[in-house]
A and B are shown apart, each in its own frame.
Chain A
């Protein structure tokens, strides 16, 4: 019913606009009705152009003030994170300056040089000097960005085996994640989806004969010791997925038929992150929103929402089917001792098989 009313209102608004235009047209009929812009149109639209510039500036300011200090832009939780964030902030600053200046010129000129009968425009077809200037400036700026960007990229993507990273497999399937730790030998056992055997609980298709596989540990939560480099090996059993860990500035697709990789070092434990002022603010804000929403839900006889507590997350970020929007895994970064204690509770592969 409300929708019907909305549609009706919209129709009436449209009719009203049409009527207004008609009146406007009739009022102009005596003067001229060629549907070509008159000096009056030029003036009005010139002023609208300068107002539109104000609108662009306002929406920019509002967006930055309200949503610009998102924790994701500043407090990364991995060693390489600050490099990405710095590059991002520098790029955003350059963009902001260029955007502000060029939009000003564009709209200001549109306002300043609005047409008047009898005035003649300047015949100005070419100027090599000007064009050289605005070719050279972007070249210099971009050269800087390319060099900075590429050095960051190479730094992030290069895997240094000498760091002795913790090897973890991220295994994707419609619509959940599993993690496989390499165990004591820190070498993942061979695996292929053709070896999956549900009857024996070999759910990731590990090669049961491979000695490296015996001590592998399969979990549904990802625990990482803080300060220790991790090398993720990604695998997917069905369609493309993408392992996206935004807090760690990390992402890599999981591709059926091949193994992809991404490495980083977590630097902030979950407990520490929960205590940072930005995060506590964010969590309080989110919980306020959830309380409001819960009121509504309770009024409709539905259960209230749980309180939110911050956790790192692994999200799927490549369209993978119906429940793509709910494919996630909790990541817990903890001290080495906590990690060791947790790991001790997990079953190794050879003990998890059903005979």
Chain B
């Protein structure tokens, strides 16, 4: 009941104030505008991140060869156009940081949680519009700081995105561990604050502001995914914040949390008693759940897109929710599988192997349920659908190799090789990116009131799909051959000379794949202004967001918020003429709701 009063208060609010340019487009408290802000900031960061990967892929394929791109973009870090080894590590580091946090956490969750939570549960806005606004602007600030860190004198952070000390703690160990790392840590601390504000808002909104009839078991799987993601974020991000703060203490105030017995550049440092392994524990306590913070929203989006475009209910709704919860729970007790050879007690390794391999069970259930949803469907091959099918494909391919990496005995020999790079890029990088693209293609009409061009969407998908496999599939094999990751060049090891041609193939796929993202960017920005005007419910979908008017209004619905009478997956339900029955349509006389 209190939720109801709250929404009325909101409505009055909308009537009283005229919005200015600043309150509407910049310091907006409207969740739809904030979603768009997140999306565009995330896209810009994504362009930077992808471009960096293309540069270091060029270096890996043609090591130590001059390149005009390096000369143009790296400046003093590319004397005579040859990439410097320090900047190579910096590129790898910042690519990882940007893609994992700024694109696939903030860009993905920030965009779609903000857009869809109020619209799909039938709320006027987020529980706190103000906190939501603060969350976005903190994210923006952290993005700006991260970008600024690219331009400092001694170079940006270059200790890998995991920033393990002592490398990240000692400026004499690496140029990037000076001002670059300071800015990295500050940026991440602000980012975490932003993420926490966002997550708390999502949780509170889902719990309190659901419209009449929207029970938890009628929630679309998108909302379940965003909800659980927010919970994992709230549990694990603070631990990373503590790790970052302790690292700042070690760096700047002489404490020894992570450092001990160090002799570097001819002198003994005063640190004593700390342990880098402690940092690894703290880092991965976030780091592993982070994988699911990235992946679950993508899976949620996929559930919605696949069901809508198959014109079929998602298969096994209860099992899907249960597997989201199981994955979320397990994700917080598996972090040690990143540390099998860290010097941690081997017995702990056994425990983490056990919990890690268990994750394969809910993941398998999800994959099988997606496939069954397609079975005997009436598949509408919209670009969003293609990306969702693509996601299931890369999720399977990438996920399966997790069985090898999660197995401590096997990890001994593939740990930190390209096998790992191939695995996590497919299962979380590409899959989550596909989820994000699926979401953009599907909800673009809802976000901008216009349609994306589908033919450009098809080109975008098919080239990306081929290139993603072309890049990451062969990468497993150079990993199994023992090639370590984060090597600036492999030419100092004749042992790996026979892998050089694989690296060239990978790079060619990466370059083509990267360049074709321009097709998407073109489509995105031109459709925003010149795309075909969207109709009310273009995909003939059941969820509530499509009942709101195309023109964005503050408070989402002009009149009363629609009530909900059924779950969101009544597609092709027998006894109805149309092949979809929106959630706000009351049950017919004698019609039974599925028991969940």
- A residues contacting B by CB (< 8 A) are 1, 3-4, 10, 14, 17-18, 21, 24-25, 33-37, 41-42, 44-46, 48-49, 52, 55-56, 59-60, 63, 67-68, 70, 72-73, 83-84, 87-88, 91-92, 94-95, 98-99, 102-103, 105-107, 109-110, 113-116, 119-127, 130-131, 134-135, 138-139, 142, 145-146, 149-150, 152-154, 156-158, 173-174, 192-194, 196, 198, 205, 234, 237-240, 242, 244, 246-247, 249-253, 255-258, 260, 282, 285-286, 289-290, 293, 305-306, 308, 310, 313, 315-326, 328
From A156, which residue of chain B is reached at the shortest CB distance?
B409
Binding site for A on B (CB under 8 A): 67-69, 85-86, 89, 159-160, 164-167, 170, 173-174, 259-264, 266, 268, 272-277, 310-319, 341-343, 346, 349-350, 353-354, 357-358, 360-361, 364-365, 367-372, 374-382, 385-386, 389, 392-393, 396-397, 400-401, 403-404, 407-410, 412-413, 415-417, 451-456, 458-459, 462, 465-466, 469-470, 473-474, 476-478, 480-482, 484, 486-490, 492-495, 497-500, 502, 515, 518-519, 522, 531-532, 535, 538-539, 569, 571-574, 579, 594
Choice from B89, B166, B360, B380 contacting A240 with Cβ under 8 Å: B166
Given that A83-B409, A91-B404, A238-B262 are contacting pairs, would A328 and B493 also be in contact in the complex, using a CB cutoff of 8 Å? yes
Q: Are A239 and B492 in contact (CB under 8 A)?
A: no
Asked if A134 contacts B404 (CB within 8 A), the reply is no
Q: Are B412 and A250 in contact (CB under 8 A)?
A: yes
Out of A98, A125, A246, name the residue touching B594 (CB < 8 Å). Answer: A125
Given A126-B594, A194-B268, A238-B263: A150 in contact with B350 (beta carbons within 8 A): yes
Chain A: which residue is nearest B174 at the CB level? A321
Given contacts A123-B312, A237-B262, A324-B487, contact A146 B357 (CB under 8 A): yes
Q: Which residue of A lies closest to B456 (CB)?
A: A21
Closest 3 CB pairs of A and B: A257-B260, A246-B482, A260-B343
- Most chain A beta-carbon neighbours within 10 Å: one of B259, B266, B482: B482
| A135 with B365: CB separation less than 8 A | yes
Give complex CA distance A143, B440 in Å: 39
Q: Is B262 a contact of A256 with CB atoms below 8 Å? A: yes
Supposing A3-B68, A18-B522, A256-B261 touch, asked if A318 and B412 sit within 8 A by C-beta, the answer is no
Q: List chain B residues, Cβ under 8 A from A94.
A: 403
Contact among A123, A138, A154 for B573, CB-based, below 8 A: A123
Q: Which of chain B's residues have a CB closer than 8 A to the CB of A25?
A: 453, 455
Residue of A nearest to B492 (CB): A326
Supposing A33-B532, A99-B397, A322-B86 touch, asked if A149 and B410 sit within 8 A by C-beta, the answer is yes
Inter-subunit contact A41/B375 (CB<8 Å): no
Q: Please tell me if the beta carbons of A192 and B374 are within 8 angstroms of each other in the complex.
A: no
Contact assessment for A124 and B365 in the assembled complex, using a CB-CB cutoff below 8 Å = no
Residues of B close to A56: CB separation below 8 A: 393, 397, 469
Chosen A-B contacts, 26 in total, with CB atoms closer than 8 Å, are A36-B539, A37-B380, A49-B389, A102-B396, A115-B378, A121-B579, A122-B375, A124-B376, A125-B315, A125-B317, A131-B316, A146-B354, A152-B409, A153-B349, A153-B407, A154-B350, A194-B263, A198-B266, A237-B262, A242-B416, A257-B260, A258-B277, A286-B495, A313-B493, A318-B164, A319-B160
Tell whether, in the assembled complex, residue B374 and residue A106 are in contact, meaning their CB atoms are under 8 Å apart. Answer: yes
Are the CB atoms of B572 and A122 closer together than 8 Å? yes
Q: Which residues of A contact B360 (CB under 8 A)?
A: 138, 142
A14-B519, A153-B349, A251-B341 in contact; A109/B409 too (CB < 8 A)? Answer: no
Q: Quote the shortest CB–CB distance from B246 to chain A (angstroms).
A: 15
B317 touches A126 (CB 8 A): yes
Q: Name the one of A115, A193, A251 contacting B263, with C-beta atoms under 8 angstroms.
A: A193
B579 near A120: Cβ-Cβ < 8 Å: yes
Alpha-carbon gap, A13 to B393, bound state (A): 28
Chain A CB within 10 A, most for which of B85, B266, B535: B85
Distance, CA A135 to CA B272, complexed state (A):
49
Q: Which residues of A sit under 8 angstroms from B400, Cβ to Cβ? A: 95, 98-99
B538: which A residues are within 8 A, CB to CB?
34-36
Bound-state Cα–Cα, A317 to B268, Å: 25
**Cα distance A116–B262 in the bound complex, in angstroms:** 69
**Minimum CB–CB distance for A122 against chain B, Å:** 4
- Please name all residues of chain A whose beta carbon is closer than 8 Å to the beta carbon of B488 when the two chains form the complex: 324-325
Given contacts A193-B268, A308-B495, 18 further A-B contacts (CB under 8 A): A36-B382, A56-B469, A72-B413, A91-B410, A113-B310, A122-B376, A123-B574, A138-B364, A153-B353, A174-B264, A194-B263, A239-B167, A239-B173, A242-B416, A249-B413, A250-B413, A253-B342, A290-B497
Find out whether the CB atom of B342 lies under 8 angstroms from the CB atom of A255: yes
Please name all residues of chain A whose beta carbon is closer than 8 Å to the beta carbon of B397 when the two chains form the complex: 56, 99, 103
Whether the Cβ atoms of A289 and B409 lie closer than 8 Å is no
Instruction: Kindly state the separation between the CA atoms of A73 and B481 in the bound complex, as whole angstroms.
Output: 7
B86 surroundings in chain A (CB, below 8 A): 322
Instruction: Report whether A257 and B532 are in contact in the complex, using a CB–CB cutoff of 8 Å.
Output: no
Give B441's nearest chain A residue, CB to CB: A35
Establish whether residues A149 and B487, one from each chain, have CB atoms under 8 Å apart when the complex forms: no
Closest to A310 in B: B495
The complex places the Cα of A94 from the Cα of B404 at a distance, in Å, of 11
- A46 partner residues in chain B, CB cutoff 8 A: 379, 381
Q: How far is the CA of A73 from the CA of B193 in the complex (A)?
A: 45
Contact, CB under 8 Å: B462 / A193: no
Smallest CB–CB gap between B289 and chain A, Å? Answer: 21
Residue with the highest number of chain A CB atoms closer than 10 Å, among B277, B494, B569: B494
> In the bound complex, do residue A324 and residue B313 qualify as a contact, i.e. CB atoms below 8 Å apart?
no
- Contact (Cβ within 8 A) A91 B407: yes
Contacts of A247 on B, CB cut-off 8 Å?
482
Give the residue name and chain of the B residue nearest to A293 (CB): B497
Q: Contact check, B409 vs A87: say whether CB atoms are below 8 A apart.
A: yes
Contact status B453-A125, CB under 8 Å? no
CB distance from B447 to the nearest CB of A (A): 15
Given A72-B480, A87-B409, A134-B364, also A36-B85 (CB < 8 A): no
Measured between beta carbons, the chain B residues less than 8 angstroms from A126 are 315-318, 594
**How far does the Cβ of A129 sit from chain B's closest Cβ, in whole Å?**
11
- Contact residue among B358, B372, B375, B478 (Cβ-Cβ distance under 8 Å from A67): B478
Q: Establish whether residues A67 and B474, one from each chain, have CB atoms under 8 Å apart when the complex forms.
A: yes
- Specify which chain A residues have a CB less than 8 angstroms from the CB of B401 in the assembled complex: 95
Q: A35 touching B407 by the CB < 8 A rule? A: no
Q: In the bound complex, do residue B261 and residue A194 qualify as a contact, i.e. CB atoms below 8 Å apart?
A: yes
Checking B346, B369, B370, B379 against A115 with a beta-carbon cut-off of 8 angstroms, the contacting residue is B379
B259 touching A256 by the CB < 8 A rule?
Answer: yes
Q: Contacts A115-B311, A157-B349 given: A70-B481 contact, CB under 8 Å?
A: yes
State the CA gap A44–B457 with chains docked (Å): 14
The answer, among A253, A319, A323, for a CB contact under 8 Å with B159, is A319
> Which of B166, B316, B389, B413 counts the most A-chain CB atoms under 10 A from its CB?
B413
Q: Is the CB of B484 within 8 A of A73?
A: no
- Max count, chain B CB within 10 A of own CB: residue among A257, A282, A320: A257
Contacts of B343 in A (CB 8 A): 234, 252-253, 255, 258, 260
- Smallest beta-carbon distance A130→chain B, Å: 7
A18, A63, A113, A328: the one contacting B374 at CB < 8 Å is A113
Check A37–B364 contact: CB distance below 8 A. Answer: no
* CB-nearest residue of chain B to A252: B341
Q: Which of A33, A95, A173 has the most CB of B within 10 A?
A: A95
Whole-angstrom distance between the alpha carbons of A249 and B412 in the complex?
A: 7
Q: Please tell me if the beta carbons of A107 and B572 are within 8 angstroms of each other in the complex.
A: no
- Minimum CB–CB distance for B297 against chain A, Å: 21
For A134, give its contact among B318, B349, B368, B502 (CB under 8 Å).
Answer: B368
| In the complex with contacts A34-B451, A149-B407, A130-B372 CB distance below 8 A | yes
